[in-house]
Each structure stands twice: as structure tokens, then as C-alpha cells.
Amino acid sequence: MRPADLWRHSSFRLALGVTLFILTALILASGVGYGLMQGQLTARQDARVTEIFAAIEQTSLEGDEADLVEAIAARIKASPDRSTAYLLKDGAGRVLAGNIRDAGLAPGWSTVAASHLGVETDYPYRMFSGQAGPYNLTVGLTNADLDDLREIVLGAFGWAALFALLGTISVGTVLAARVQKRLSQAEDAAARVAQGDLSARLPVLGRGDDLDRISIAINLSLARLEGSVEAMRQVSADIAHDLRTPLNRLRIRIETASARLEQGLPVEDDLAAATAESDRINEIFSALLRIAQIESGARRENFRTLDLAALMRDVADVYAEVAEDAGQILRPDAEGSAPVMGDRELLTQAFANLIENAIRHCPPGTVITCAVTETLGQVTASVRDTGPGIPAGERDKVLRRLYRLEKSRTTEGTGLGLALVKAVADLHGASLVLGDAAPGLRVDLKFHPIVGAI
């Protein structure tokens, strides 16, 4: 990766920003710490100077001039590196003893450069001048410790800053390279999707980080989009295939009516048959449009809290006589209440489709059971029968639009009943399961309940 490209990566900028923040905090902490240590050392140094001055002053008061000069000479001998400075003058300003040059310091405290005192060192001196009896006494200590402390603090901060910057650049470069690799893979996947390959997916490394979560969300959207597009393709193929027959029949009816009209024969029956075919085609398109509306999610605004068990009982009551006329037995098994969030009209249509399918495709004597149960945090609405059932290999196919079993092609129907049920289930976040009732077919819609809603 080129250095110029690093700044464009948020990971690198974030790492650099965190480092600059840490360095700023380190500067502030170091400054405060250095200030506190410098103040403490300066106070100790001043106390030491004051102690030495007081000791020499006491000697000047207790002894004669020779004793005082001898005492200072002893102290000077004990400090050959002149880390402690002494200068004793009499009342006339004549130097009696000392290891520094007379710089004419004013009484009190002062910080003086070593060169002014005739000392060859880079460290300044902390000095105190005052009267010791009849004498003028100056005592001082070198600031070597304070300057060494300053150099240590600045050196430590400099090395820390250098290592922090180098670490930031290294870590930021590695992070940027890793992110760029994943982004490049995401760009490749997006390019494949743009070219029509909806099977492309973003990489998921399983680390659970932000990029993984975003990739999972996008992959779920791509999977849903792929399914929708595939469903559209299948619908187009199914429409082209399944509408060809009724359209051909409609054309034949119209041509027959036209021919009979030219011959002066009655055409009422042919026109009635043509109208019936037209109504059937219109019914198919209406059902397709209704499924498309449901799948768009527009009906979610109609969701309300409802009792699924009561709804199933109402639908079963409506179809009880229809089943009886067909020589079948319809048994409701939906006691109590089962609250869910949903669209009452759509769920009523879904249950009606399931019951109608059972009545239409099962022989006389079939028992159809409509049940609603709530177990393990799920509300399950089921319609099961004791009829011929659906082969296991066909159960997924019958949920497609316009798909009909071969044995059902001679019966009435559009092949959209179960497709609409699936659309309603998806809209409600419910799972639709077709299973074996042994004998017969069992269709389950499993919803999430609302605890305490009803």
C-alpha cells in the first residue's frame, strides 16, 4: 500500500488520532509531574542553602574571623567540584574566603549562571546572599540535579513519543491493509452483483466485529434479493406457461363464436364460455398483484393485536357447511386465546385458502382439522387433513406461484393459494411448514406470541 493512500483509511486516521491524544495527555502529565518535582527539589535545595548559611552564621557569632575563614575553607575543601559555592567578605568588601568569583550579588535569593561566578560548568547556581554578623556571606548550590531531571524527562518523553508514532504507523498500516483487503473483496462482490451475479457475498471472517456485522446484514439482503429475483424469473416462466392454455382456450372460444355468428348460428354459449375464461385469467392476475402487494410489506401498517385462535374458529365456522356439502368433516380445535400481531384480513385469507385447498383436493370422508396451539413460546396455526397429501419432493414446489400438482390440473384453482399463504406468513415473520399428517397433509404457520396482550 502506498504511503499516500494511508491517510484515506479511517482505521489509520483513528490510530493516529488516538496516539496524538495519548501524546497530548502524556505531555500534560509530564509537564505537571515535572513542575511538581522541580518545585519540590527547588524547595529542598533552598532549604539546604539556608541550612548551610545558618551554620556558617552561627560560627561567625561564636568564633573569631580566623575560625570563620577556617570553617569555610574546610567546606570548600569538601566540595572540590564546586557543587557548593561560598564567598565571604568583610564589611569593607574585601574577600576573606570563597571558591567563586565576586559577582556583586544583591542580598536575597538569585539564580546565577556559572560563568558569572567563574565556574566552568553549564549548570546555573541557586544563590543566597546576606549578613552573617559583620560579614557579607554568599552560599549557593548548583542546579545540576534539576537540569539532569529536565533532561531525563524530556529524553523519556522524546523516546516515548518516537516509539508511539512508530507503533501507530505500523499498527495503522497493518489495520489499513487488512481493512483494504476486506473492502476490496466487498468491492469485487458489489461489482459481481452489479453485473447480475446475485450469488456474490461479502466476506465474513467470524470475528464478530463491525465489518462482520455489516457484511452479514448485506449478505442477508443479497440473499433476499436473489430469492426475489429468482422468484420473479420463476413467476415469469410460470405465467408464460400456465396462462398459455387459458389464453388459447379464450382465443378458440372467440374464433368459434365468430364463425358461428357468420353462419347465423347462436353464439350465447360460446360468449359465456369466453367470459368465464376471461374471468379466470383476471382472477390469476388479481391474485398475483395481491401477492406482490403483500410481499412489498405495505400491509404492515395494518398490523394490530388479534386472537389467532378466535380467528381460526370464525373461518372454520364459515367453511363447516361447505365441507359437509363435499361429504367431509371439518373440526375446529382452537380453544382459548392466542394473541399475535398481524393483519386480520390477510390471515383470514390465508386460513381460508388452506381450508379450501383441503376441501377441493381431498375425497369425501376426509377429516379436516383446524387447530391453534401455543407451546414453547410459539403460536402454531395448523390445517391438517386425512386426504392423499403431497409428496415430500413436491412440498417446496407447491409454494411457488402457479405451480400445480399433475393430479390437480383437472380441478379448479389458479395454483396461487399456497403462494399467497407463504407471502402472508413471510409478512408476519411466521414460518410455513408442510408436513406429513400420516395420512394426509399438515400445514403449520408458526408465529411469535404477544405475552399478556389479550
The confidence score (pLDDT) of residue 319 equals: 92
Claim to verify: residue 226 and residue 259 sit in the same structural domain = no
CB 84 within 8 A of CB 131: no
- Output phi, psi for 317, to 5 deg: -60, -40
- Tell whether pTM > 0.85: no
Claim to verify: residue 327 and residue 416 sit in the same structural domain = yes
3-class SS of residue 270: helix
Claim to verify: residue 24 and residue 56 sit in the same structural domain = yes
Whether residue 180 is contained in a domain is answered as no
**Residue 421 contacts by C-beta under 8 Å, 6 or more apart in sequence?**
350, 353, 354, 399, 432, 443, 445
Whether residue 111 is contained in a domain is answered as yes
* Sheet of 378-385, strand order: 329-333, 367-375, 378-385, 441-447, 431-436
CB 403 within 8 A of CB 413: no
Claim to verify: residue 289 and residue 323 sit in the same structural domain = no
Instruction: To the nearest 10°, report the CA torsion of 74, 76, 77, 80.
Output: 160
The confidence score (pLDDT) of residue 453 equals: 47
DSSP calls for 316-339: HHHHHHHHHHTT-EEEEE--S--E
CB 39 within 8 A of CB 111: no
Claim to verify: residue 310 and residue 290 sit in the same structural domain = no
Whether residue 174 is contained in a domain is answered as no
The confidence score (pLDDT) of residue 282 equals: 79
Which has the closest alpha carbon to 311: 360, 280, 344, 342?
344
The list of the chain residues with pLDDT below 70 reads 1-16, 172, 176, 231-232, 234-243, 245, 296-298, 401-415, 451-454
- Where among 210, 227, 242 does a domain terminate? 242
Claim to verify: residue 96 and residue 204 sit in the same structural domain = no
Q: Give how many domains the chain has, as a whole number.
A: 4
Which three cell numbers mark 344?
Answer: 386480520
- Where among 133, 148, 163 does a domain terminate? 148
Claim to verify: residue 328 and residue 380 sit in the same structural domain = yes
- Where among 296, 312, 337 does a domain terminate? 296
Whether residue 117 is contained in a domain is answered as yes
378-385 and 441-447: which strand pairing? Answer: antiparallel
Claim to verify: residue 272 and residue 363 sit in the same structural domain = no
Claim to verify: residue 364 and residue 434 sit in the same structural domain = yes
Whether residue 312 is contained in a domain is answered as yes
The number of CA neighbours under 13 Å toward the Cβ of 161 is: 14
Whether residue 172 is contained in a domain is answered as no
**Residue 300 contacts by C-beta under 8 Å, 6 or more apart in sequence?**
343, 427
Sign of CA dihedral 413, 418, 423, 427: positive
Per residue in 74-98, is it b (16+ CB within 10 Å) or e — as a string? ebbeeeeebebbbbbbeeeeeebbb
CB 401 within 8 A of CB 414: no
How far is the C-alpha of 329 from the C-alpha of 368, rounded, in Å? 6
The DSSP 8-state label assigned to residue 298 in this structure reads G
**Omega of the bond prior to 363 within 30 degrees of 0, cis?**
no
Claim to verify: residue 282 and residue 313 sit in the same structural domain = no
Whether residue 162 is contained in a domain is answered as no
Q: Could you tell me the residue range of the domain that residue 77 belongs to?
A: 10-148
The confidence score (pLDDT) of residue 190 equals: 81
CB 66 within 8 A of CB 87: no
Whether residue 160 is contained in a domain is answered as no
Claim to verify: residue 290 and residue 303 sit in the same structural domain = no
130: domain CATH number?
3.30.450
Claim to verify: residue 438 and residue 302 sit in the same structural domain = yes
